[in-house]
Structure formats: C-alpha cells, structure tokens
C-alpha cells in the first residue's frame, strides 16, 4: 500500500472522527459521569460499531444496503428515532443520557458499551462514508485483504484515541466545579445537537 495514499486516508478518517457529533457527545458525557476506566467501555462500543460498518463496506454488503431503499430507510429511521430520544431526554430530564454532572454514578460496563454501540450504529453516515472512501484508497495491483486490514486497524485505533480524548475532556469539564446553569446549558446544547443530527439524517437520501 502506497504510504502517501495511506496517510491521506488516515488524515481524512481522523478529521472526520474529530468533528463533534452524537458519539463524541456520548463519550464526553460518559467521561463526565463515570470513572475513566468505566467510561472506556462506551468508547469501545463506538469503535466496535465503526468496525462493523467498515467490515460491511469492505465486503461489499454496504453497497447492497445502500442500493436497497427499504433497508436503508429502516436503518435511517431507527437511527433518527434514537437520536431524537437522546436529544429530548437531555433537554427535559435532569438524569438524561447526556448529562455533564460532577456526581459520578457508576454504570455497568455492558450498559456503557451498549449505549456507545447503539449511538454510533444509529448514524448510517458512517456506512456511507466507508462505502465511498474505501474504493478511493485501495490499489487493485496490491493484496486487497492486507490493505483492508491495515485501514481497518487504523480506523479502530483512531476511534479509540479520539473518543477517549472526548471522554477525558468530559471528565475534565465535570471536575471544574461548573455552576448549575452552565452544566444545564451544556446539556441543553448537547440535546439540541443530537436533535439537529437526527433531523439531518432524516433528510438524507441516497443518490442512485
């Protein structure tokens, strides 16, 4: 695999992950409300969702999903409903799923992992991204499987590092003894961001 092409792929992927979205907000909120060792399970859930989308794209199944309007619509609307639920919970509930608070409440690792996994799976943009991206960086003259393994491992590592950074930032903000109105404003902003993302996904169409 050409090193220059690989670096472009890696930089593009990292920049995409660094753009704040539902998964970044989830990682930050878990970092704020959980001990850092426990919060990592949420990050791992997000990364596993991306691994699944990457694998689907690499095996060509993603193209079949995107080609099927019914199947894609099902994925899209489940994702929209879940994101709207998270956003509304954050806005109207003091104990919503996106809650930056100084008080740490230890949750089960499985619950944190599941939340991270579902939030990321609820956004089919990742599926579209990998489906569009991978063919641009694969050299058919080189072993394709090896190239996919390298890119897949790179995506996994980038996910773990970037979302762990979001988790740490959430923990740092929560420990800063923020006033109640500031915490409330952050929660409301996070909720509105999730709702806006859900609306954007609802408006998303696949062009044939």
What's the pLDDT tens digit per position in 144-153? 788 888 989 9
**Is 131 a domain residue?**
yes
Average pLDDT over residues 24-42: 83
**Is 73 a domain residue?**
no
- Return the biggest CA–CA distance within the chain: 59
Cβ(98)–Cβ(83) under 8 Å? Answer: no
Cβ(39)–Cβ(171) under 8 Å? Answer: yes
Rounded Cα distance, 127 and 68, in Å: 14
**Is 204 a domain residue?**
no
Residue 13 clears pLDDT 50, i.e. is over it: yes
Q: How far is CA 141 from CA 19, 119, 134, 138, 147, in A?
A: 33, 37, 15, 9, 11
Residue 95 clears pLDDT 50, i.e. is over it: no
Q: What is the pLDDT of residue 163?
A: 92
Cβ(164)–Cβ(63) under 8 Å? Answer: no
Q: What is the pLDDT of residue 47?
A: 93
**99 CB burial (10 A radius; 0-12, 13-18, 19+):** buried
Average pLDDT over residues 65-93: 75
Residue 26 clears pLDDT 70, i.e. is over it: yes
Q: How far is CA 128 from CA 27, 98, 200, 208, in A?
A: 22, 26, 14, 13
Beta strands in the chain (DSSP E): none
**Is 16 a domain residue?**
yes
* Predicted confidence band of residue 48 (pLDDT cuts 50, 70, 90): very high
**Is 173 a domain residue?**
yes
159-169 tens-digit pLDDT: 999 999 888 88
Rounded Cα distance, 128 and 125, in Å: 5
**Is 205 a domain residue?**
no
Residue 45 clears pLDDT 70, i.e. is over it: yes
Rounded Cα distance, 53 and 120, in Å: 10
Task: Look at 23-37, 98-112, 148-162, 186-200 and tell me which has the smallest mean pLDDT.
Answer: 98-112
Q: What is the pLDDT of residue 98?
A: 47
Q: What is the pLDDT of residue 6?
A: 84
Sign of CA dihedral 98, 158, 203, 118: negative
Comparing 204 with 44, the larger pLDDT belongs to 44
Comparing 98 with 183, the larger pLDDT belongs to 183
**Is 157 a domain residue?**
yes
Q: Would you tell me the crossing angle of helices 36-58 and 144-174 to the nearest 10 degrees?
A: 150
* Predicted confidence band of residue 43 (pLDDT cuts 50, 70, 90): very high
Rounded Cα distance, 161 and 47, in Å: 10
Q: How far is CA 117 from CA 1, 5, 81, 190, in A?
A: 30, 29, 15, 18
Domain residue limits at 132: 3-67+97-180
Number of domains in the chain: 1
Rounded Cα distance, 194 and 86, in Å: 7
**Is 190 a domain residue?**
no
Which of 8-17, 60-69, 88-97 is modeled with the greatest confidence?
Answer: 8-17
Average pLDDT over residues 83-95: 72
């Amino acid at each position: 695999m050409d090193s220059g092409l690989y670096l472009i792929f890696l930089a593009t992927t990292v920049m995409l992950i660094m753009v704040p979205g539902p998964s970044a907000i989830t990682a930050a909120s878990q970092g704020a409300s959980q001990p850092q060792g426990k919060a990592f399970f949420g990050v791992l859930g997000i990364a596993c969702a991306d691994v699944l989308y990457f694998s689907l794209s690499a095996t060509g199944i993603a193209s079949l999903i995107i080609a099927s309007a019914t199947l894609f619509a099902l994925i899209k609307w489940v994702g929209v409903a879940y994101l709207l639920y998270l956003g509304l919970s954050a806005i109207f509930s003091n104990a919503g799923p996106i809650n930056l608070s100084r008080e740490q409440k230890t949750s089960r690792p499985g619950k944190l992992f599941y939340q991270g996994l579902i939030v990321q799976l609820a956004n089919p943009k990742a599926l579209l991204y990998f489906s569009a991206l991978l063919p641009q960086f694969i050299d058919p003259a080189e072993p394709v499987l090896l190239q996919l393994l390298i890119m897949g491992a790179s995506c996994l590592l980038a996910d773990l590092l970037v979302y762990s950074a979001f988790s740490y930032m959430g923990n740092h903000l929560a420990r800063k003894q923020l006033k109640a109105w500031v915490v409330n404003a952050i929660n409301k902003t996070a909720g509105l961001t999730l709702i806006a993302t859900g609306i954007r996904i609802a408006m998303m169409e696949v062009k044939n």
